[in-house]
């Protein structure tokens, strides 16, 4: 720790930081634009000026940029000194000379860093009468608005987009005061992380376009801590609600998981919540004369209870996109052996194998931000940018770990972005990618191998064997010796090696080979440490569902086929989407009764006897377990209209009526989470994921809405002139209102992230324990899975027999493959067309050409796909799109090409 | 005694003074134009809706009696999808008018709003929107702002230069 002096007062500071970070951390106000904790300093905007003195007797000092000056021992600086304060004031006035008169129609208004800084620097009126420079803005696609007139040339956008996120199509163009930030021509931004520009840009140049037609200011949004439901990474989000509908989603900082960012699937997928496929009332889709009939709550619950009491064998289909609570309630209702997962066999096996591997062996599953610090990465099979986008972003940072450490050895401080980039140049890695088809991470890889899933597993095992001869040998590894040794060496010498795999290859063997590879590193390394092991699982709660246990959907279908099922309760899943319309219809015909609980309508729901309207992630409470094994709590953002409620509450009501006494004790979200924790040792720490409902600050709960929430004496008055009392929340320490404790709550339940003088997302520095560190009072969530350590037994990598058939491999699309986000119009507009992807040689030997139409079949499901030749794809694989254009998931994992006839 | 007589004399004098009260409703008090009464939403000189649904009036309202929802047309022009003022709460403080950056919301000299039912005091946009510009005849926000939104082309606002040519390399 160094002692520094700010305006004559001494403070302790971390000398490895810059003065801007230290000053903000100490709670001072100092304007800045170009610095960002994730991007570092480049000293471009000249806004963070302070005066530095040579010693105690120097009263004149010299102006320096705080973000470019280390917090060195004995540094004496002043924030208030006239020379710096005047410069700051002038700099912002210059920036504003051409700024448009836009705040009222600018979506940044009310949370604009430029507004904040202008006021902070002491301005209230515009003096300039000079004509303003203008630009022609671009159409950047359905997600992001562009209004270049508002730009202050801070360069944050391109630094994030190109350097941090690896995008190519956003650039700084032009010269002198004509600098332009945009694409070379109109068109959607290509990066899966483009939405972060909305928050990174300190002005309203980039705005959230999905919000434009239902725009709401930050001060009018009701918010609660929540978790993204669109993949297994489990990024933290701040969804905002107004008038009973979600208005937007913003990244919620989490010191260990997603940091400051989100992917666009997570940011823009929220509009499924107000899709016209929402189920809002209980239904009997096959009522009188097959006419859908609306049911009262009472009638619906009674019908379900009657089905429960009158059926001999009831099975439940749990959902990897539903919470632990809802799945647990269903599992208790149908019993462990009647509980199935809404996942096809391959996906189910992969998830189970991944969780076993994380629990049995010595490898730890790293949190997202730990992945960023790994310095050697091997990815087996997974196209992370598409299936777990934020994990790909973390690997992008990991690829810079070694080059950055070289720079730091040259004496460059870690925050000095400009100098580090100069030193790093294009150095990346080591990162090794083994995949069936090209991925967006290829550009940073040390080496890329294109292989079939089978060969990827074999190669993983071969590398493992090079590290530890005890790893059983496998026939069929086609990887060259030099390649094997290169990867083995990288894993051995790295400070923090990492192996990544996922369910995207449809191959359990790949999951197991990745575990063996990670574990085997411990044998070759001097420190005996095994590499870290990260899996990308497809759904927000794939891991949680696997921890509860259960059999795959295919077995439920088989049981129904054998006539062993009288009734099926289907939780938040569309069986048609998974197994295909044929098998799903057959299943629902074979079971005498079916009950569907979901928030969106789908063909499966249309065939049920009773459909119950379930709450979405924004309307209910619950826990999800992410791929890392971290349990995280979703808190209801708003209270939905009656009768929408969490699935487990519907199940509880039906169970109580049907005489299942245990449901009585599930009196609230916390009670059922505790019951699940008691029943499943793996979930024992579930209740620790968040503060409990009896948490109070000075006797009060915490408000979900900001203190300047407007319009409550008018908002609902068209319905009734008596203003309604806000609904109560007995399940969390939050209130559905603007009234709550005036004391700042712990970071994990903070809702508005607003501090005096700081209305923009940059207010975050006020809520972190230290800049870039955990939230004040600790980050939320608990890790449920820790490695078992030694001794361990290598996992069995069972390779399928080599076959002349093409191996089906799912082609995952960040936009479109996930069921819920695909209902958001913005995401749907960006979803790719569905093609059967083939290597041209395979296509030639099958006699197929571009655009030929081929049937794909698996387990009674089928689809017709047109062929697209992809020279980069590994020979012997057939890429089948996952979840696009209603193609059943089973086809992507197990589809066979029907050719010839 | 003398005090009592003086008071009576003053009262007597008042009988011949001009009356301060009005025989309302037959006779109405002349109100200054800045008198704060019923609230309207005005139009700009081009006849377009002035309100850009910025929510500043709503947030400045000390009794929270203004609620609205922003939306935009195909050109990106912002306007309120609906706009509601609960006049049974409004205290006619005029803070909304002061906050409004477009001169859309205006308090006008009209106080004759009594109703027998409270719900009649909840005014919707159709009750609030008037046909003219109200007290401020000339101001036109979209001709000052940087956004074009179909009102003009980029660079055509007041005090704006034509759009820069980003491909120019001239110094
Ligand atoms: S960027 Fe900020 S200052 Fe500029 S118009 Fe938008 S809200 Fe106003
Ligand atoms: S567009 Fe935004 S982030 Fe990019 S330079 Fe301009 S103000 Fe900075
Ligand atoms: S990476 Fe996954 S969890 Fe994170 S924002 Fe994207 S979809 Fe959501
Ligand atoms: S302040 Fe003016 S422009 Fe803004 S919402 Fe209110 S009336 Fe409309
Ligand atoms: S923040 Fe220091 S110069 Fe921009």
In a domain, A432, yes or no: yes
Give the model's confidence band at B15: pLDDT under 50 very low, under 70 low, under 90 confident, else very high. Answer: confident
Q: CA quadruple A526, A529, A530, A535: dihedral positive or negative?
A: negative
- CB count in 10 Å sphere of residue A836: 29
Which tokens is A891 given? 């086809």
CA distances (Å), origin A570, targets A337, A574, A612: 15, 8, 10
Q: For chain B, where are the alpha helices, taking DSSP H only?
A: 2-14, 56-60, 95-99, 125-128
* Per-residue model confidence as pLDDT tens digits over A636-647: 999 999 899 999
Scan residues 10-29 of B and list those with Cβ closer than 8 Å to A. none
Q: What pLDDT sits at residue A900?
A: 59
Q: ipTM score here?
A: 0.92
Instruction: State which of A80, A95, A110 marks the end of a domain.
Output: A95
Q: What integer is the mean pLDDT of A363-374?
A: 96
DSSP letter for A469, please.
T
Hey, is the C-beta of B128 within 8 angstroms of any chain A C-beta? no
E strand map for B1-101? 39-41, 66-72, 78-86
Domain with residues B31-139, CATH architecture: 2-Layer Sandwich (3.30)
**Phi and psi torsions of A332, nearest 5°:** -65, -35
Ligand 5 mutation target, pool A24, A33, A70, A417, most atoms within 8 A of CB: A33
Q: What integer is the mean pLDDT of B29-42?
A: 93
Residues of B in contact with A131 (CB under 8 A): 159-161
Distance CA A350, CA A380 (A): 13
Residues with CB under 6 A from ligand 3: A 228, 230-231, 233-235, 258, 262-263, 265-266, 388-390
Contact B101 A213 (CB under 8 A): no
pLDDT over 70 at B117, yes or no: yes
Q: What integer is the mean pLDDT of A440-447?
A: 95
Asked if residue A675 lies in contact with residue A708, where contact means CB atoms within 8 angstroms, the answer is no
Which of B69, B122, B163 comes nearest A721 by C-beta? B122
Q: How far is ligand 1, taken at its centre, from the CA of residue A204, in Å?
A: 6
DSSP A756-813: TTB-SGGGGGGTBSSTTSPBTT--S-EE------SS--PPP--PPPP-SSPEEEEE--
* Per-residue model confidence as pLDDT tens digits over A849-863: 999 999 999 999 999
* Per-residue model confidence as pLDDT tens digits over A721-752: 888 888 999 999 999 999 998 888 999 999 99
Give the model's confidence band at A217: pLDDT under 50 very low, under 70 low, under 90 confident, else very high. Answer: very high
Ligand 3 mutation target, pool A195, A226, A233, A535, most atoms within 8 A of CB: A233
Scan residues 687-746 of A and list those with Cβ closer than 8 Å to B. 708-715, 717-718, 720-721
* Per-residue model confidence as pLDDT tens digits over A286-326: 877 778 899 999 999 999 999 999 999 999 999 999 999 99
Length of chain A: 901
- Report the domain count for chain A: 3
Strands B78-86 and B122-123: antiparallel
* Per-residue model confidence as pLDDT tens digits over A320-361: 999 999 999 999 999 999 999 999 999 999 999 999 999 999
Residues with CB under 6 A from ligand 1: A 99, 102-103, 106, 108-109, 112, 114-115, 150, 203-204
Distance CA A261, CA B168 (A): 35
Domain ranges of chain B: 31-139
Asked if residue B53 lies in contact with residue B104, where contact means CB atoms within 8 angstroms, the answer is no
Which of B59, B89, B155 comes nearest A713 by C-beta? B89
A571: enclosing H helix or E strand? strand A567-571
Q: What integer is the mean pLDDT of A682-709?
A: 94
Give the CATH number for residue A826: 2.40.40.20
Q: What integer is the mean pLDDT of B50-60?
A: 97
Contact B66 A129 (CB under 8 A): no
* Per-residue model confidence as pLDDT tens digits over A571-600: 999 999 999 999 999 999 999 999 999 999
Q: For A178-225, where are the alpha helices, taking DSSP H only?
A: 197-200
DSSP A120-181: HTT--S----SPEEE-------SSEEE-GGG-----HHHIIIIIIT---S-EEESSGGG-EE
Q: Which of A137, A560, A508, A511 minimizes the C-alpha distance to A313?
A: A560
Q: What pLDDT sits at residue A901?
A: 47
Residues of B in contact with A214 (CB under 8 A): 69-71
Q: Which of A889, A896, A891 minimizes the C-alpha distance to A342?
A: A889
Q: What integer is the mean pLDDT of B20-39?
A: 90
Omega before residue B24 within 30° of 0, cis: no
The number of the ligand 3 atom at minimal distance from the alpha carbon of A818 is 7
Distance CA A868, CA A149 (A): 42
Q: Which residue has the tokens 């000095």?
A: A416
pLDDT over 80 at A801, yes or no: no
Q: Helix or strand or coil: residue A665?
A: helix
pLDDT over 70 at A518, yes or no: yes
Instruction: State which of A95, A128, A145 marks the end of a domain.
Output: A95
* Per-residue model confidence as pLDDT tens digits over A461-477: 999 999 999 999 887 66
Omega before residue A480 within 30° of 0, cis: no
Hey, is the C-beta of A302 within 8 angstroms of any chain B C-beta? no
pLDDT over 80 at A803, yes or no: no
Residues of B in contact with A707 (CB under 8 A): none
Scan residues 219-278 of A and list those with Cβ closer than 8 Å to B. 219-220, 242-243
Q: What integer is the mean pLDDT of A597-607?
A: 95
Contact B163 A714 (CB under 8 A): no
Scan residues 83-102 of B and list those with Cβ closer than 8 Å to A. 84-86, 88-89, 101-102
Distance CA A747, CA A739 (A): 18
Weakest-pLDDT range from A90-104, A481-495, A543-557, B18-32:
B18-32
The mean pLDDT of chain A is 94
In terms of residue numbers, what domain contains A814?
807-898
CA distance to partner chain B, nearest, from residue A642 (Å): 23
Q: How many CB pairs under 8 A join A and B?
A: 153
Within 8 A by CB and 6+ apart from B117, the residues are: none
Contact B119 A721 (CB under 8 A): yes
Give the CATH number for residue A34: 3.10.20.740
* Per-residue model confidence as pLDDT tens digits over A153-186: 999 999 999 999 999 999 999 988 899 999 999 9
Q: Which of A587, A56, A162, A111 minimizes the C-alpha distance to A396?
A: A162
* Per-residue model confidence as pLDDT tens digits over A745-794: 999 999 999 999 999 999 999 999 999 999 999 999 999 999 987 788 99
Which tokens is A343 given? 């996942």
Nearest CA in chain A to B81: A214
Instruction: State which of A95, A111, A137 marks the end of a domain.
Output: A95
User: Among all ligands shown, which has an atom nearest to the Cα of A84?
Assistant: 5
Residue whose CA lies nearest to ligand 2 atom number 2: A201
pTM of the model: 0.95
In a domain, A385, yes or no: yes
A226: enclosing H helix or E strand? strand A226-227
* Per-residue model confidence as pLDDT tens digits over A13-50: 999 999 999 999 999 999 999 999 999 999 999 999 99
Q: What pLDDT sits at residue A649?
A: 97
């Amino acid at each position: 720790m160094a002692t520094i002096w700010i305006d004559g007062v001494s403070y302790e500071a971390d000398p490895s930081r810059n003065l801007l970070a230290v000053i903000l951390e100490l709670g001072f106000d100092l304007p800045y634009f170009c610095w960002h904790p994730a991007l570092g300093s480049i000293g471009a905007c000249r806004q963070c000026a302070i005066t530095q003195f040579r010693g105690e007797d120097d009263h004149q000092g010299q102006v320096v940029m705080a973000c470019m000056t280390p917090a060195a021992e004995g540094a004496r600086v002043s924030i208030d000194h006239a020379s710096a304060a005047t410069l700051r004031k002038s700099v912002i006035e210059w920036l504003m000379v051409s700024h448009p008169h836009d705040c009222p129609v600018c979506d940044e208004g009310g949370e604009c860093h430029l507004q904040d800084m202008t006021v902070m620097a002491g301005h209230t009126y515009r003096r300039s009468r000079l004509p303003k420079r203008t630009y022609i803005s671009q159409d950047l696609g359905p997600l992001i608005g562009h209004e270049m007139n508002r730009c202050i040339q801070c360069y944050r956008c391109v630094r994030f987009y190109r350097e941090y996120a690896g995008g190519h199509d956003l650039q700084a163009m032009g010269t002198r005061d004509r600098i332009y930030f945009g694409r070379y021509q109109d068109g959607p931004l290509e990066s899966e992380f483009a939405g972060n520009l909305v928050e990174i840009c300190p002005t309203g140049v980039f705005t959230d376009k999905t919000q434009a037609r239902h725009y709401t200011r930050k001060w009018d949004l009701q918010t609660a801590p929540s978790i993204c439901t669109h993949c297994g990474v489990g990024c933290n989000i701040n969804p905002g609600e107004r008038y009973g509908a979600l208005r937007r989603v913003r990244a919620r900082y989490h010191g260990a998981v997603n940091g400051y960012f989100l992917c666009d699937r997570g940011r823009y997928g929220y509009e499924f919540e107000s899709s016209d496929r929402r189920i809002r009332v209980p239904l009997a889709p096959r009522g009188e004369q097959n006419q859908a009939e609306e049911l009262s709550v009472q009638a619906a619950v009674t019908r379900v209870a009657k089905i429960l009491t009158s059926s001999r064998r009831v099975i439940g289909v749990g959902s990897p996109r539903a919470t632990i609570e809802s799945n647990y309630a269903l599992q208790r209702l149908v019993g462990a052996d009647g509980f199935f997962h809404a996942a096809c066999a391959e996906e189910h096996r992969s998830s189970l194998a991944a969780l076993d591997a994380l629990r049995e062996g010595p490898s730890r599953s790293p949190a997202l931000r730990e992945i960023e610090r790994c310095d050697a990465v091997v990815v087996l099979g997974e196209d992370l940018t598409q299936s777990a986008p934020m994990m790909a972003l973390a690997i992008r940072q990991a690829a810079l770990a070694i080059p950055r450490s070289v720079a730091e050895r040259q004496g460059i401080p870690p925050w000095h972005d400009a100098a580090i980039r100069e030193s790093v140049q294009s150095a990346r890695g080591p990162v090794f990618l083994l995949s069936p088809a090209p991925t967006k991470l290829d550009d940073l890889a040390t080496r890329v191998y294109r292989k079939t899933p089978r060969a990827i597993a074999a190669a993983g095992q071969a590398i493992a064997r090079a590290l530890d001869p005890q790893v059983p040998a496998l026939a069929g590894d086609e990887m060259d010796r030099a390649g094997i040794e290169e990867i083995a060496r990288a894993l051995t010498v790295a400070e923090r090696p990492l192996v990544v795999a996922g369910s995207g290859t449809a191959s359990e063997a790949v999951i197991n080979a990745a575990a063996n590879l990670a574990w085997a590193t411990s044998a070759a390394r001097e420190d005996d440490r095994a590499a870290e092991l990260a899996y990308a699982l497809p759904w927000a709660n794939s891991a949680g569902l696997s921890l509860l246990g259960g059999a795959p959907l295919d077995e439920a279908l088989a049981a129904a086929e054998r006539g062993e099922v009288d009734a099926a309760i289907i939780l938040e899943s569309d069986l048609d989407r998974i197994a295909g319309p044929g098998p799903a219809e057959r299943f629902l015909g074979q079971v005498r009764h079916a009950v569907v609980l979901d928030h969106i309508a789908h063909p499966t729901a249309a065939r049920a006897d009773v459909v119950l309207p379930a709450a979405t992630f924004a309307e209910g409470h619950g826990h999800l377990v992410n791929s890392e094994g971290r349990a995280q709590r979703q808190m209801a953002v708003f209270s939905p209209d009656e009768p929408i409620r969490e699935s487990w509450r519907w199940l509880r009501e039906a169970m109580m009526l049907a005489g299942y006494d245990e449901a009585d004790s599930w009196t609230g979200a916390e009670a059922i989470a505790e019951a699940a924790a008691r029943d499943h040792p793996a979930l024992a720490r579930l209740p620790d994921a968040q503060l409990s409902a009896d948490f109070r600050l000075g006797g009060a709960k915490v408000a979900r809405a900001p203190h300047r929430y407007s319009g409550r004496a008018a908002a609902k008055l068209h319905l009734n002139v008596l203003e309604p009392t806000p609904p109560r929340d007995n399940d969390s320490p939050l209130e559905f209102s603007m009234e709550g404790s005036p004391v700042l709550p712990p970071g994990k339940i903070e809702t508005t992230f607003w501090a005096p003088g700081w209305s923009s997302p940059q207010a975050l520095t006020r809520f972190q324990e230290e800049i870039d560190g955990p939230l004040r009072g600790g980050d939320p969530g608990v890790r449920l899975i820790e490695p078992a350590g030694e001794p361990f037994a290598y996992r069995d990598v069972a390779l399928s027999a080599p076959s002349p058939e093409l191996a089906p491999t799912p082609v995952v699309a960040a936009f479109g493959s996930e069921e819920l986000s695909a209902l958001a119009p913005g995401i749907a507009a960006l979803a790719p067309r569905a093609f059967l992807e083939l290597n041209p040689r395979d296509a030639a030997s099958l006699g197929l050409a571009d655009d030929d139409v081929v049937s794909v079949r698996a387990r009674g499901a089928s689809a017709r796909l047109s062929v697209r030749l992809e020279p980069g794809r590994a020979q012997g694989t057939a890429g089948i799109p996952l979840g696009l254009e209603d193609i059943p998931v089973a086809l992507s994992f197990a589809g066979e090409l029907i050719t010839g006839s | 005694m003398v005090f009592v007589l003086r008071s009576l004399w003053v009262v007597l004098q008042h009988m011949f003074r001009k009356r301060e009260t009005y025989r309302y409703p037959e006779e109405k008090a002349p109100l200054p134009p800045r008198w704060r009464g019923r609230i309207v939403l005005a139009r700009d000189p081009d006849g377009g809706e002035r309100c850009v649904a910025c929510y500043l009036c709503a947030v400045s309202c000390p009794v929270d009696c203004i609620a609205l929802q922003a939306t935009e047309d195909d050109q990106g022009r912002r306007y309120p999808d609906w706009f509601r003022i609960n006049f049974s709460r409004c205290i006619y403080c005029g803070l909304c008018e002061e906050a409004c950056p477009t001169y859309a919301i205006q308090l006008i000299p009209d106080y004759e709003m009594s109703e027998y039912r409270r719900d009649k005091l909840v005014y919707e946009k159709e009750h609030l929107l008037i046909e003219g510009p109200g007290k401020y005849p000339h101001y036109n926000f979209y001709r000052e702002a940087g956004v074009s939104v179909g009102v003009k082309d980029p660079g055509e606002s007041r005090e704006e230069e034509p759009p820069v040519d980003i491909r120019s390399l001239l110094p």
